[in-house]
Each structure stands twice: as structure tokens, then as C-alpha cells.
């Protein structure tokens, strides 16, 4: 079975093609037959396409800034050129899409129908940077591949198990009735990493109290008990929670009222500043990239030092919130770009929880090897690095829905 995965961001498009043969899934993520990445941040929004297939990479300009046309050009490379891997696009059996926001409607991966598309469109106000891109991808596939089965894998689905006390805000019921509540995000990554951690530890997932830390430019934590999300740091939007690369994370909402009333800011200005000009970037005045912050900190830049200190403080505070929801902790998982690669962040965060008996192994931590245990044997909390494989997680959801079922 050939499964195409589309993972659209606000300014990017990741895609890959898996070929899954046999009655069961492989125990570890296989290498995709083909991978593609479109960066839409070029001049006048024109994209740049990077391909990886047959062990080689290639970069191509896209002929148009139109995203649907860009996706069409990307898919052409599956069947044409030196890096082609298919004789015909009709060989694709199923297409899986990461969809950031599914609201309260979907708690699991779902075949895409007109009703599903309508829900994704209706939720655009809650995910304006992402849901439109997901619809563009879905419609591009419809135009190119016709009635091929398409599956939506929702980032919010994993957090549908949040209890009401964690999911709802202390606001008037009339506001809650408008759908203003905590949805949570990065659910595909949190679910995947939780399952991988349980396998690595050779323990049943439902026996573990676990916190998964998806720490990239965007970042969130999830408290997982009995294999289910019971609390998370992102809420109504991905802005809530941790201090991030360019997002503020949680702040006093009265700050926005003050800026609107007394400083004449407009809503769109505030949205831009909180989502794209805050966090590490806003405090340091340098960059949203943690590597740049750490380099500047090493050179004695006081704003970089402050930005990193705030970043760790907020991380520890949010982790403490998840710990309180669980009432204990067996496993702490770090994943995504920063979580997998920054030994310093892991070290600094874990130091705040040594009172629990958490003991990090400094040598293993410094090596930053994926899918390993980096705590000491006597540690009361197992600390792991897990490489998140969101695309593979989406492909496995598609396989479970689309693979032929044994009539026995």
C-alpha cells in the first residue's frame, strides 16, 4: 500500500510517500520512498521545493506562488525526472493530511468527506495560519488524484480526553457555549511519543504517568495517564502555555486590554506581535532560534541571557502544572527540534525536579541520541529522548483505516 502524507504548515509543506507491504506494520518507522519540502517564504511568496529520493537531494524553484499549483508540481516529481519513484500517480492508495484543528467534532483520524471539509473550514478562525493550508492540500489532491481516499489526522484529537476541569476556562457559560475552551495541539506527536516511550521501557502505556515535552519553535507539554491526555499547555489556540521561539505563551490578558485602550493597538497588530515577535525573539531582540540565543548568551549578551532564563523558568512552571495534574511522574519525554537536540535545555529543566529523585545521566544527556533513556538507573523518574515521527504516525493511521481487513 502506497500512502502519501501531506503535512502543511503556515509557510511550508512537508510531504512523503511510504510503501507499506505485508499484513502488519514494521516495528520501526521505515525510510520514505520520497520526501518533499516546500518553503513558501521566498520573494513574492514563491516557493522553493527540496526533494529527497533514491538517496539524493535536489532543490527546485516552483513555477508559481499559487499553493495548489505548487503541490501539483511537487507531485509531478513522483513520476517524472531522475528521482521519480512511481510509474503513475494512480499507484497512490491513500493520502493522509495533518490537520491542526478539528474542534470537538473529531476524536480520531477520519476519512475526509464534504462534511469534514466543512468542519475544517468552519474552524479557520481558530487556526487561521494552518486550516486554510490543509484545505488547499485536500482540494489539490482531489483535483489531481480524483476520488482517492483521503484521511484527516487532527492535532486536537488526542486531547479530546481532557476532563472538563482542565478543558474549560473560568469564563461565563455563554462564552463556553461559543466553543471557547482548551483544545490542545501537537496531539499527533504527543500520542506517538507516548507509545514509543512505553515500548522503549517495555512497560504498558496505561501503567505510566508520563509528561511528553514537544519542544520546537512551537512548544507544548502533555500530561498522559492511562494512555490518555489529561492536561496540556496549549489551549484555545497554540499561543497558550510555554514561552516559545516567537510566541509569548501565556500572559496576563489584561495586558491586551491595556494596549487596546491606552496604546491604540489594533487586534491584528497584537496577534502579529504575540505570535511572531515575542518569545525568545521578542525578549532577546535577536532570533526565534534557540541556537542563536545560546551563542549570544555564551558571548555575554544580557538580553540573550534573560531570554534563556525566562524560557527555562516558564518551562519548569508549566511542567510543574502537568506534574500536579498527574499526581506523580514515572516518565519524562523530550521530543521535537529543541527537545531532541538541546542537552542544555534538558539539563536545566530537569535540575528543577531533582527533589523528586530525578537524576539525569550527564554523559547520555550530552550525547543527544534519539530513542534512548538518559536518566541514571537509580532515578525515580525515567527521562527519555524520543524522535517524533509525525508523518509516520499519520501514515500508520491511514494504514489502519485503509488496509484490507481479514474477514476472519
User: Rounded CA gap, 151 and 136, in Å?
Assistant: 14
Crossing angle of helices 131-145/67-76, nearest 10°? 50
127 alpha carbon, distance to own chain's centre: 14
The beta strands (E) that lie in 84-145 are given as 94-99, 110-111
H helix or E strand, kind and range, residue 192 = helix 187-201
Residues 6+ apart with CB under 8 A from 31: none
User: Rounded CA gap, 16 and 30, in Å?
Assistant: 12
Closest CA to 5 of 122, 109, 116, 128: 109
3-state secondary structure (DSSP) of residue 18: strand
User: Rounded CA gap, 265 and 252, in Å?
Assistant: 16
User: Rounded CA gap, 319 and 74, in Å?
Assistant: 40
Q: For this structure, is 155 an active site residue? A: yes
User: Rounded CA gap, 358 and 381, in Å?
Assistant: 5
User: Rounded CA gap, 240 and 251, in Å?
Assistant: 8
The beta strands (E) that lie in 70-169 are given as 94-99, 110-111, 149-154
Using alpha carbons, list the distances in angstroms from residue 407 to 149, 200, 250, 282. Answer: 21, 33, 51, 58
φ/ψ of 219, rounded to 5, equals -150, 145
Out of 66, 155, 231, 406, the active site residue is: 155
- Going by their DSSP bridges, the two strands 110-111 and 149-154 should be labelled as antiparallel
Q: Which residues are catalytic?
A: 155
Amino acid at each position: 500500500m502506497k500512502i502519501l502524507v501531506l503535512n502543511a504548515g503556515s509557510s511550508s509543506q512537508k510531504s512523503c510517500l511510504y510503501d507499506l507491504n505485508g499484513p502488519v506494520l514494521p516495528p520501526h518507522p521505515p525510510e520514505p520512498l520520497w520526501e518533499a519540502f516546500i518553503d513558501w517564504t521566498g520573494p513574492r511568496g514563491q516557493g522553493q521545493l527540496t526533494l529527497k529520493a533514491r538517496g539524493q537531494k535536489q532543490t527546485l524553484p516552483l513555477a508559481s506562488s499559487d499553493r495548489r499549483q505548487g503541490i501539483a508540481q511537487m507531485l509531478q516529481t513522483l513520476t517524472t525526472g531522475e528521482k521519480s519513484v512511481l510509474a503513475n500517480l494512480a499507484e497512490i492508495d491513500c493520502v493522509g493530511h495533518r490537520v491542526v484543528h478539528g474542534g470537538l467534532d473529531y476524536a480520531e483520524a477520519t476519512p475526509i468527506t464534504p462534511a469534514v471539509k466543512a468542519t475544517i473550514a468552519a474552524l479557520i478562525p481558530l487556526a487561521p495560519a494552518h486550516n486554510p493550508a490543509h484545505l488547499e492540500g485536500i482540494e489539490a489532491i482531489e483535483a489531481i488524484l480524483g476520488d482517492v481516499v483521503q484521511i484527516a489526522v487532527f492535532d486536537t484529537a488526542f486531547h479530546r480526553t481532557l476532563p472538563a476541569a482542565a478543558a474549560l476556562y473560568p469564563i461565563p457559560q455563554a462564552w463556553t457555549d461559543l466553543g471557547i475552551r482548551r483544545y490542545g495541539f501537537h496531539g499527533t506527536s504527543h500520542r506517538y511519543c507516548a507509545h514509543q516511550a512505553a515500548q522503549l521501557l517495555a512497560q504498558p502505556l496505561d501503567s505510566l504517568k508520563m509528561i511528553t515535552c514537544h519542544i520546537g519553535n512551537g512548544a507544548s507539554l502533555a500530561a498522559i495517564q492511562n494512555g490518555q491526555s489529561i492536561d496540556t499547555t496549549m489551549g484555545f489556540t497554540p499561543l497558550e502555555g510555554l514561552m516559545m521561539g516567537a510566541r509569548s505563551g501565556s500572559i496576563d490578558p489584561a495586558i491586551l486590554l491595556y494596549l487596546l485602550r491606552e496604546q491604540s493597538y489594533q487586534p491584528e497588530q497584537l496577534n502579529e506581535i504575540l505570535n511572531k515577535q515575542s518569545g525568545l525573539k521578542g525578549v532577546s531582540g535577536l532570533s526565534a532560534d534557540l541556537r542563536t540565543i545560546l551563542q549570544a548568551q555564551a558571548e555575554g549578551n544580557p538580553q540573550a541571557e534573560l531570554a534563556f532564563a525566562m524560557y527555562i523558568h516558564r518551562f519548569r512552571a508549566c511542567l510543574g502544572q502537568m506534574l500536579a495534574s498527574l499526581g506523580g511522574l514515572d516518565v519524562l519525554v523530550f521530543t521535537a527540534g529543541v527537545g531532541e537536540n538541546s542537552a542544555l535545555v534538558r539539563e536545566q529543566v530537569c535540575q528543577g525536579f531533582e527533589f523528586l529523585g530525578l537524576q539525569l545521566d550527564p554523559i547520555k544527556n550530552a550525547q543527544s541520541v534519539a530513542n534512548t533513556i538518559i536518566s541514571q538507573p537509580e532515578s525515580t523518574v525515567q527521562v527519555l529522548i524520543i524522535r517524533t515521527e509525525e508523518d509516520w504516525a499519520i501514515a500508520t493511521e491511514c494504514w489502519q483505516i485503509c488496509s484490507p481487513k481479514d474477514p476472519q
